[in-house]
Structure 1
Amino acid sequence: MLMFNFAELGRFFFEGIEVYPNISYRKIDDVTVFLDIYRPKTVTGKNKTLVAIHGGGWISGTKEEIVPQLIPFLTQGWSIVNVGYRLGGVAFAPAAVEDVCCALRWVFSHADEYQFDRNKIVVIGGSAGGHLATLCSILPNSTGFDSGIKISDDQKLEDLTEFNVAAIINLFGIMDVKDVFTGINRKDYAVYWFGNQPNSEGLAAQISPIHYVRSGLPPVLTIHGNQDELVPYEQAVKMHQKLDEYRVPNQLLTLMGAGHGNFSPEQAYLIYQTIQDFLQTYQLN
């Protein structure tokens, strides 16, 4: 696990980056969740912004772990919001969903303060982070996962700005949660995340991105290895097909022979280039 001393992050990146660490974006009972902001000092006016969601099967991982993966975006002038959320050991499903929905609302409502361009906010995540990035970017308000959530004692989530993200980058994320919870692809991490809650199967279906595909969604880039043993590759294929069915602009990059992350240098370069081309297509870089 890679951990970083935020006092040294300026030196770790380069002196052209401003770092705003551990900003509290939500308090739930006695738990506070945080996000970090990295912003180029040269930014004048509104700036393209990447919202990053870490993975870890909803039960592990930290926002600090993915900092090295974000450096290429920083060097290209992106502002970055790196989001933490409650893991399964703190709160069972759907707590992480509620938190990330809240974080996205927070980003849009604080756009003027941090010079985020509301028209160029892209959400990216890997594995469970890919699930959260996709789901929380497309959830209809009617689902109620953010109903009554408070950011502070005097501000409810529904009082904040409505949001429409510009694009979604899904790196081998879970698109059908029920499949990895009780289906033929059942995984221990998913079972742990749900605990012993009543109607967990129904909840798993409710927080599956594939059930919310409809016309008018933002462009989606999916990247997935066809030998992934933790998140079935078939989920990426089915999501791609359903997005096509509803004519949602989308692309699926299949990494032949690749598993769950740990890509070769050649695969990593292909991923990076594909993301750049995708962003260029929609005039986001």
Structure 2
Amino acid sequence: MRRKVAKYLLVSVLLFFMIISTGLVYFFYANDAPITKGQISYGVTYKGDLSLDIYHPTKLVHEKSPVVLFVHGGAWIAGRKESMNTNRVNGAVNQLRDHGYTIISIEYTLARNGKSPFPTCIADGFDAIQWISDRADSLNLDLDYFGIMGESAGAHIAMMNVFSNPSDFGLTHEKTALDYVVDIYGPNDLYKLYRSESLDSLMAMIKELPKPINQHLNLANKVFGFDPEEDLEKTKTVADLYSPVTYLKKNLPPVLIIHGNKDQIVPLEQSTSLKLLLDSLEVENEMHILEHTNHAFIGADDSQKSDVQDWIFNFIENQRIELRKDASIIN
């Protein structure tokens, strides 16, 4: 009897994983995911137990390949490097690879066991950039055309890697110059994000839940590593230290900003205020606001989703063209 039960359970588990695997394969192919195309180097270790995936060009267009670093979202507590394939940026990534680009998607440190992901997740980004720079020749990468793109929490890390310096977070290696940053609904002022109405409403709902669930879902506590309500002065100090707006200055590389005007996770004001600051510093930037669109492009129609792919591809490719023009003028 026990053998029959065990056999039944084993068959059920195998069928479950077969269904999940089949569903994922169908999803990836149906959404034209980059993971279904060309050569990909999976799970390459770049630091400790952290790895990255290298999506090589699908067409050899350049003698050396321009490179884009992708940083996934997930509120600094979740997410995977494979999320680049979940259809929010698929079209842009496919276009870039078809035009000879290499796309590298990284893991980074997430909040765990009451420990904040900061500043380690930011340092991870800097270390990944350094790893890429050190191996540019063996990977046939052109560091003269090197940019970074992220969504949500990943966009925050991407901006920190462009706006701040490795030495700000105890790293000794020199900063690799990046040519642009693509900010997809990323938070750039953490204190304002923490004090926003949307987060206040979410936290109020979480507080009403039973304590074990409350503690598990308390996003603010996980991100800060302490209860931010207990000492707002400390909270603001920590938030400012890890906010991209703190490090804004003149002569930053161009910034592309994409945000939905109905975002209930990262308020649109995070991006509109960033644009105003960039404008005041005369930093080249481009902003696109998606109407009736929530976080992660929820609510966007097919036309809007298509526009997002074109905005990203055109921005990145135009930066390469402009940089090439500047180089030819100098020479």
* 2:72 maps to 1:54: yes
Residue 223 of structure 1: which of 249, 258, 262 is its match? 258
Alpha-carbon distance, 1:96 to partner: 1.4
Q: CA RMSD in A?
A: 2.7
* 2:220 maps to 1:172: no
Letter in 2 for 1:203: V
Q: Identity over aligned residues, as a percent?
A: 25
In the alignment, the residues of structure 1 paired with residue 186 and residue 59 of structure 2 have an alpha-carbon distance, to the nearest angstrom, of 33
Equivalent residue for 2:305? 268
- What secondary structure does 1:111 align onto? coil
Equivalent residue for 1:84? 107
In the alignment, the residues of structure 2 paired with residue 36 and residue 284 of structure 1 have an alpha-carbon distance, to the nearest angstrom, of 26
Alpha-carbon distance, 1:186 to partner: 3.6
Distance change in 2, residues 1:46/1:209 (3 Å):
same
In the alignment, the residues of structure 2 paired with residue 284 and residue 192 of structure 1 have an alpha-carbon distance, to the nearest angstrom, of 42
**Structure 1 portions without partners, runs of 5+:** 5-9, 149-157
Equivalent residue for 1:152? none
- What secondary structure does 2:39 align onto? strand
**Structure 2 portions without partners, runs of 5+:** 1-19, 26-32, 201-217, 323-331
Flag the structure with larger Rg: 2
More displaced, 187-196 or 212-221?
187-196
Equivalent residue for 1:246? 281
The Cα offsets for residues 59-109 of structure 1, whole Å up to 9 and x where unpaired, read as 111011212523343233210110111111265131211211211221222
- What secondary structure does 1:178 align onto? helix
Distance change in 2, residues 1:163/1:222 (3 Å):
same
Equivalent residue for 2:239? 204
In the alignment, the residues of structure 2 paired with residue 23 and residue 181 of structure 1 have an alpha-carbon distance, to the nearest angstrom, of 35
More displaced, 227-236 or 105-114?
105-114
In the alignment, the residues of structure 2 paired with residue 238 and residue 216 of structure 1 have an alpha-carbon distance, to the nearest angstrom, of 18
Letter in 2 for 1:93: P
In the alignment, the residues of structure 2 paired with residue 72 and residue 132 of structure 1 have an alpha-carbon distance, to the nearest angstrom, of 24
Distance change in 2, residues 1:185/1:213 (3 Å):
farther
More displaced, 248-257 or 261-270?
261-270
Alpha-carbon distance, 1:128 to partner: 0.6
Is the CA contact 1:83–1:103 (under 8 Å) kept in the aligned structure 2?
yes
Is the CA contact 1:220–1:250 (under 8 Å) kept in the aligned structure 2?
yes
Equivalent residue for 2:175? 162
Distance change in 2, residues 1:281/1:78 (3 Å):
closer
| TM-score (normalizing by structure 1) | 0.83
For 1:103-142, list aligned pairs within 5 A. Answer: 103-142=128-167
In the alignment, the residues of structure 1 paired with residue 321 and residue 178 of structure 2 have an alpha-carbon distance, to the nearest angstrom, of 11
Is the CA contact 1:48–1:116 (under 8 Å) kept in the aligned structure 2?
yes
The Cα offsets for residues 198-255 of structure 1, whole Å up to 9 and x where unpaired, read as 9443121111111111111000000001110000100100100000000000011111
Distance change in 2, residues 1:273/1:184 (3 Å):
same
Is the CA contact 1:179–1:185 (under 8 Å) kept in the aligned structure 2?
no
Equivalent residue for 2:214? none
Residue 293 of structure 2: which of 255, 258, 278 is its match? 258
Distance change in 2, residues 1:280/1:18 (3 Å):
closer
Residue 225 of structure 2: which of 187, 195, 201 is its match? 195
